[in-house]
Chain A
Amino acid sequence: MEKLIISPAPHIHSGDSVSKNMTGVIIAMIPALLASLYFFGLGALIVTLTAVAACMLFELLIQKYILKGPVTILDGSAAVTGILLAFNLPSNLPIWMIIVGALVAIGVAKMSFGGLGNNPFNPALVGRVFLLISFPVDMTTWPVVAPLTMNYLDAETGATVLGILKEGSASLPAIKDMVIGNIPGSIGEVSAIALLIGLAYMLFRKIITWHIPVSILLTVALFAGILYAVDPETYASPLVHLFSGGLMLGAIFMATDYVTSPMTFRGMWIYGVGIGLLTVIIRTWGAYPEGVSFAILIMNGFTPLINFYVKPKRFGEKPNKA
């Protein structure tokens, strides 16, 4: 004790860190990653590795050569963006397109706003939507499930559940296959059960709270349920809505992104209900078969406004017992 350290209280810290939270999110994505590797084989592996490597590389290059500041690629946030971008892509997407998506995600959506913590929109979703608008055919040609296949670009393709709903071209797969993930789709979105395991892990580790996923899923179930009750011929059942497309992935991993979601529980409910409503509206009446990405990005845009108006329950606001 040659020199004592003087600083204001508190003098102890929980030991929590950005990288611990990001590592936690990555661990939570492992079940979905394993499911994607099983259902889509080599293609899923190539897409994931490319997206992660490209996201980390772009962050490194931008921080080192453009911003000339500290390099923070090891905090895990770029890796999370990479995996989430991959989860939103079909397994037969050409490598160069994935790299373009990563550049938009990291370069445009994240670093140009000031890096981690400052981006208004979810980087992985911005990357995905950029690709969807730029390369609509490649982004909506989905390989059918072929366990552990070694096919990549030449994989056999088929329609997604939501595509079938939109076109009315074929009959829907069984709900059981949708829960397990035995359906065409983006690599990380198909297995609802694997995503739910990830959710349970994140709740257990207190990485996120339940408010956002529950409010989104509940809203979709209720809204789709009302439509289905009114006219089951025209509208899909709430179960189909819940277990198809990117809803689970979006509700569990995309909408819960710390940076772009509200700061209070009440705000999270508004945000979640908004995403749920917009998702069903876009799916049912919109031009695109799937609306989760757009719904989340739109509500990302509302997040600063929600934070401005919706305050936490202050001490002294709870009713006092007589």
Chain B
Amino acid sequence: MKTFRIGGIHPAENKFSAGQQIKTAALPKQAVIPLAHYIGTPSEAVVKRGDLVKVGQLIGQANGFISANVHSSVSGKVSKIDVQLDASGYKRPAVFIEVDGDDWLETIDRSRDIKRECALSKEEIIEKIKSAGIVGLGGATFPAHVKLMPPPGKKAGVLIINAVECESYLTCDHQLMMEHGEEILIGVTILMKALQVERAIIGVENNKKDAIHHLKKLAANLKGIEVEALKVRYPQGGEKQLIDALIRRQVPSGKIPVEVGAVVQNVATTYAIYEAVQKNKPMIDRVMTITGKDAPNPGNYRVRLGTYLSSVVEEAGGVPAGTGKIVGGGPMMGRSLMNLNIPMAKGSSGVVFLRDEESIRKPVQNCIRCTKCVTVCPMGLEPYLLMAQSERNMWPEMEADRVMDCIECGSCSYTCPSNRPLLDYIRFGKSTVGGIIRSRTAK
């Protein structure tokens, strides 16, 4: 079975919410819709205090190339445009809406019928995805339409759908494939048309055998779509790792996937693209997983953007006793949350409760040079060395040892027998070196 060729780890999967039907979370009383994205420029508000908005109405206009439109996920009255703490712990601009009923724009097709035919041209598809504010739902929230417009001279040969869900605990993509496989495949054909490629590969890790079987059956009479089972290995969902696993090509340092002829979209993004293109539904909700070893009802929930995480968690049975840490996202790359008064954003893939004893890091010991961090690094770096350089402010050396290639997957810190905070130091060094590089190229 295929997998990527360098490094990797296999943490306990703990997919407690696997197979749980997607439940629709209750409408919030107030929606706080973030205008900022994890990556790129915040959108600009196009509504003001007192405006009445409908579900699906544009409230934030994309601001620049790497930015995305934001739509109201609820209907009601804009109470203010203010800052709100988000998962990263920063105050970011957001639109506060007092919810009143559930009044959708008439243009949105809310029927359950699956719409198969798409007569739109390549340009029309891309424009629709762009105006619907679709971003990558795997976590990085990179605007989806940007990936569909390769830089001049580059041509995509294959579309890769990231259905790996390699983070432990999370199951939202898995369940989405089980319940909306057909729509996802229509989304794939739409993307193939937008990219004008003849081939698409859906990469799924082999711990989701039912989803692989289901998609294979559905894809059997579609031309050019392959479903590939992958050996379970983290971080296979990393874009570069997934491309290596599926087509045995490695994206060179500092380059984007289209350099090796690939464009990658997440499976949940593909579903959102189906909804945007076929149903005129902008990005106003997503499926997320609420889970943990002691979670009362581990499950998958369809949640409107801007809903406070606290209300979804309450619906799922509340925070279990003995929780020491709440992670927004997966346990390897997610963020630990200060509290649950954080609005649901496009990139929120899950809430994971970790027990007290799992939450506290063990005391740091000397590096015993066991080479385990070097062995697991999926980018072929030397984490022990980068940490030592970062501690000593050796920025040119860090750059030469390719710190900018680090994808921050955390495999090094996970595996270190001396509990060394490798990624903490590498991340710090990476941001410092990144700043140095930017100021050098700006000159």
Partner of B251, one of A72, A117, A209, A316: A316
Partner of A4, one of B325, B380, B416, B418: B325
Report the bound CA distance from A13 to B11 in whole Å: 8
Check if A314 sits within 8 Å of B332, measured CB to CB. Answer: no
Check if A16 sits within 8 Å of B260, measured CB to CB. Answer: no
State which residues 350-391 of B face A: CB under 8 Å. 352, 354, 358-362, 365-372, 374-375, 377-382, 384-385
Check if A16 sits within 8 Å of B380, measured CB to CB. Answer: no
Check if B336 sits within 8 Å of A11, measured CB to CB. Answer: yes
The smallest beta-carbon distance between B140 and chain A, in angstroms, is 14
Name the segment of B129-137, B183-191, B278-286, B407-415 touching the other chain: B407-415
Check if A315 sits within 8 Å of B378, measured CB to CB. Answer: yes
Check if B366 sits within 8 Å of A10, measured CB to CB. Answer: no
Chain B, interface size category, equals 35 or more
Main secondary structure of the interface of A (DSSP, over half): loop
CB closest residue in chain A, given B360: A5
Partner of A10, one of B5, B368, B413: B413
Report the bound CA distance from A72 to B364 in whole Å: 13
Judged by a CB distance under 8 angstroms, whether A18 is at the interface is yes
Check if B324 sits within 8 Å of A4, measured CB to CB. Answer: yes
Judged by a CB distance under 8 angstroms, whether B405 is at the interface is yes
Per-position binary interface string of chain A over residues 1-24, scored 1 when its CB falls under 8 Å from any chain B CB and 0 otherwise: 100111111111110111011000
CB closest residue in chain A, given B327: A11
Partner of A12, one of B331, B367, B370: B331
Judged by a CB distance under 8 angstroms, whether A320 is at the interface is yes
Residues of A within 8 A of B419 (CB): 13, 17
Check if A11 sits within 8 Å of B332, measured CB to CB. Answer: yes
Report the bound CA distance from A14 to B331 in whole Å: 12
State which residues 106-130 of A face B: CB under 8 Å. 114-118
Report the bound CA distance from A20 to B253 in whole Å: 36
Check if A259 sits within 8 Å of B250, measured CB to CB. Answer: no
Report the bound CA distance from A20 to B418 in whole Å: 11
Residues of B within 8 A of A14 (CB): 9, 11, 414-415
- Answer whether A12 and B6 are a contact pair too, CB < 8 Å, given A1-B324, A315-B250: no
Check if B253 sits within 8 Å of A314, measured CB to CB. Answer: yes
Check if A315 sits within 8 Å of B6, measured CB to CB. Answer: yes
Report the bound CA distance from A320 to B361 in whole Å: 40
Residues of B within 8 A of A75 (CB): 365
Judged by a CB distance under 8 angstroms, whether A317 is at the interface is yes
The smallest beta-carbon distance between B273 and chain A, in angstroms, is 28
Residues of A within 8 A of B382 (CB): 263-264, 311-312
Partner of B325, one of A5, A209, A313: A5
Judged by a CB distance under 8 angstroms, whether A258 is at the interface is yes
Report the bound CA distance from A5 to B331 in whole Å: 13
Q: Which residues of B contact A (CB under 8 A)?
A: 5-6, 9, 11, 89, 168, 240, 244, 247-253, 260, 319, 321-327, 331-339, 352, 354, 358-362, 365-372, 374-375, 377-382, 384-385, 401-402, 405, 408, 410-411, 413-419, 423-424, 427
Can you list 24 contacts pairing A with B, beta carbon distance less than 8 Å?
A1-B321, A1-B322, A5-B324, A5-B325, A5-B359, A8-B423, A9-B332, A10-B411, A11-B327, A11-B331, A11-B358, A17-B362, A21-B370, A117-B365, A261-B369, A264-B382, A307-B385, A311-B382, A311-B401, A315-B6, A317-B380, A318-B5, A318-B250, A321-B247
Q: Which residues of A contact B (CB under 8 A)?
A: 1, 4-14, 16-18, 20-21, 72, 75, 77, 114-118, 209, 258-259, 261, 263-264, 307, 311-318, 320-321
